[in-house]
Amino acid sequence: MNMNQETYMRRALDLARLAEGDTSPNPGVGAVLVYRDRIIGEGFHAAYGQPHAEVMALRSVRPEDQDFIPDSTLFVTLEPCCVYGRTPPCTDLIIRERIKKVVISCLDKSPGVNGHGVALLRDHGVEVIEHILQEEGEYQALIRNVFVSEQRPYVILKMAFSKDGFVGRAENQVNLSNPGSWRLVHRLRHRVDAILVGTGTALIDNPQLTNRLFWGNDPIRIIPDFNKKLPSDQAFLHDKGPTWILCHKDPERDPPPSQQVIYKVIPAGTDLPGILTYLAKEGVTSILIEGGPTMILSFLESDCWDEAILSTTDRFLGSGIVGPTGWTCPQDRIRIGTDDFDWFRHPRYLRKCDPTG
């Protein structure tokens, strides 16, 4: 493999991450335009409805470099789109600018694209090289690709453990994270469309579930309350940010406690995959599950998860609620102060697994 191709694609991936959490329901995409081993243009898709990465890269080319565009190579983290959405197809732009070579990391699974963008470029004489840093590119586009190909949100599980394997106590809230870890969790909240907790966690912790320690918007707060256990004084029912209460009852008969609270009626008997399908139809592309062990287990047992982030603090509880066990082979591990964070990806996404890390 040409190492320069990896270098420029890695730059494009870094650019794509600059808009993490801001492009939903679109994916984050980065693009780099290279002429004779010199970057003459680069850009990224900053927000939904705004120009795509390819457009921004070409717009950034200085006037004195404009004549080099046709003989340049365009590196894009995701297959260029070939369908009309809120913006014109990027394949049209590439063809119009007479760019002769395009390098991509992975395909866009969106309906109407999914290989058709590559085929269209090749039909117009553009050389297309695929699969450069493919695994990194696929991870970058995973939220979008899961949403459009499986019609469900991308699911991230998050749990905090004590050193002896407990996740809390039934009678009161237990803090199992340090301030540095709180900031990381709030960054995760910025990354997703929605955050979900169960009524048990809501009753014990009375959480705000907002993004207060990282820049960006608050996620939609989703709480299944099918048995009407939530009291009206819960914090998330009255502070800023949208809140969805999943219920079986007609919301018109039970007015919400504040304007930002919306009842979402789920038919009785709907299983967890069905709930996720419903949320996808409501536009939720990704969801962070910060519930207790019962909720986490329900996602694991239903095989409805894509990524898991588990933190373990140095603190011992001695007793309490035991968290799910059996986690092996984390794909990444970091330490923040007294807390260890392990990242797991669903086995369906793994090409290999080295237990030694």
pLDDT in tens, the chain (357 residues): 455 899 999 999 999 999 988 899 999 999 999 999 999 999 999 999 899 999 999 999 999 999 999 999 999 999 999 988 778 899 999 999 999 999 999 999 998 899 999 999 999 999 999 999 999 999 999 999 999 999 999 999 998 888 888 887 766 677 777 878 888 888 888 899 999 988 877 777 777 777 775 667 889 999 998 888 887 778 777 777 789 999 887 666 566 666 788 889 999 889 999 999 999 999 999 999 987 888 899 999 999 999 999 998 888 888 878 888 778 788 898 999 888 999 999 988 876 444 333
Q: From the candidates 54, 79, 138, 307, which is the catalytic residue? A: 54
Pair type for strands 321-322 and 166-168 = antiparallel
Neighbours of 123 (CB within 10 A): 10
User: 262 by DSSP, 3-state: which?
Assistant: strand
d(Cα 154, Cα 189) in Å, to the nearest integer?
Answer: 13
Q: How far is 248 from 262, CA to CA, in rounded Å?
A: 13
151-349 adopts what CATH topology? Dihydrofolate Reductase, subunit A (3.40.430)
| pLDDT tens digits for range 151-187 | 999 999 998 888 888 887 766 677 777 878 888 888 8
- Taking domain 3-148, whether its CATH number is 2.60.40.10 is answered by no
Q: Where are the alpha helices (DSSP H) in the chain?
A: 3-17, 53-59, 90-96, 116-123, 134-140, 142-150, 179-191, 199-205, 272-281, 293-301
User: What length does the chain have?
Assistant: 357
Domain positions in the chain are: 3-148, 151-349
Q: What percent of the chain has pLDDT over 70?
A: 93
54 flagged as catalytic: yes
